[in-house]
Amino acid sequence: MGKSDVRIRAGELRQRVTFLRRAPGQDEMGQPNETFVALFTAWASVGPVNAREYFGAGHYVDDVDAEIVIRYDPFSPLRATDRAQVEGEHGGVFDIQGVLNPEQGNRRLRVLAKRIT
């Protein structure tokens, strides 16, 4: 039985993560600037990953710092251009590098991310 065949127990998902998407905006002077808006918030398991290169989402991902695991959602809009804001232990803001559905098991999503703050 593969790891993705096992259901995620609620106790494994201990941290709140808000996923963010880049949105066009303007500053007070009318100049374009980059802002992020919340997509959704989910309970997650967040842990460090020690890998310089990680093969995921069909391509190599450089400098992955963390793996964020959430329950699978077929309507999840996550992309490799989004961000994750993690509360609590291992907290901070992360750039998403890849989103994986292990073995296409539709049980969990593995979000590979790089810490930016």
User: pLDDT digits over 45-87, tens only?
Assistant: 998 886 554 555 555 556 778 999 999 988 888 999 999 999 9
Closest to 70 in 3D by CA, of 39, 43, 97: 43
**Stated pTM of the model:** 0.79
What's the rounded Cα separation, in Å, for the pair 28 and 91? 30
Query: Could you give the number of structural domains in the chain?
Result: 1
Domain enclosing residue 49, as ranges = 3-115
- For the cut 70, the answer to whether the pLDDT of residue 100 exceeds it is yes
What pLDDT does residue 49 have? 81
- What CATH number should be reported for the domain holding residue 85? 2.40.10.270
